[in-house]
Amino acid sequence: MSWIASSLWDLLAGRKTPPRSPRSPRSKSAESATKKSTPTRKPMQERYDKLVTDMKQTYGVRIRKWRSSMTGCAWEVHYESGRLVRLVESPYPKGPMSCAIFLHEIGHHVIGFRIYRPRCLEEYHAWKWSLDTMRELGFNVTKSVEKRMAESLRYAVAKARRRGLKKLPAELIPYAT
């Protein structure tokens, strides 16, 4: 087996070192693997991260769980002591759709529960707050997000009608099928 010098100084000094094996932690493939595994934050993701922090602090909301699906839930827990805990489950904002769903769930806490009747009207106001907030903060509201809002509201109106809703609020007329 032949040995080679690892640097010019080794060659000049007459030192010889064994060649590096591909498994060596100092090999080129190991260096590139390290670079790939080190997460780098993209500027847009940093904005989503800041949005999450700001919304939690501003509205006193606790995230119970980050969901892998594009669904969410918001609720409050009232304790006998008078303590109120605001909870949310939603996807972590990584793009326009997950951001809209996250803000929709925050919107339920912002507008208040049981303020708007019927329930489908509360859904409308939570969606409206979500999309208005995205636009105000400079986040992209895509056609897919607007379609998701419309589908969600059509479903909420149909559900309310199945349950006996007599009079549909004016804001929801466009979503009646």
The pLDDT tens digits for 128-149 are: 999 999 999 999 999 999 999 9
Q: Answer yes or no: is 24 within a domain.
A: no
Q: Quote the percentage of the chain above a pLDDT of 90.
A: 76
Instruction: Strands of the chain (E only): list them.
Output: 61-67, 73-78, 84-91
Spatial contact of 88 and 109, defined as CB atoms under 8 Å apart: yes
Give the closest residue to 2 by CA, choosing from 16, 22, 23, 20.
Answer: 16
The DSSP secondary-structure symbol of 115 reads S
Tell me the average pLDDT of the chain. 88
Mean pLDDT along residues 85-102 = 98
pLDDT, residue 177, reads: 81
Q: Answer yes or no: is 34 within a domain.
A: no
- The 10s digit of each residue's pLDDT in 153-177 is 999 999 999 999 999 999 999 999 8
pTM of the model: 0.77
Please check the confidence at residue 34 and state whether its pLDDT lies above 50: no
Please check the confidence at residue 4 and state whether its pLDDT lies above 80: no
Q: Answer yes or no: is 91 within a domain.
A: yes
Please check the confidence at residue 103 and state whether its pLDDT lies above 50: yes
pLDDT, residue 66, reads: 98
Q: Answer yes or no: is 25 within a domain.
A: no
Number of independent structural domains in the chain = 1
With 0-12 / 13-18 / 19 or more C-beta atoms within 10 angstroms meaning exposed / middle / buried, residue 90 is buried
Domain that holds residue 53: 43-175
Taken as a whole, the chain contains a residue count of: 177
Q: Answer yes or no: is 99 within a domain.
A: yes
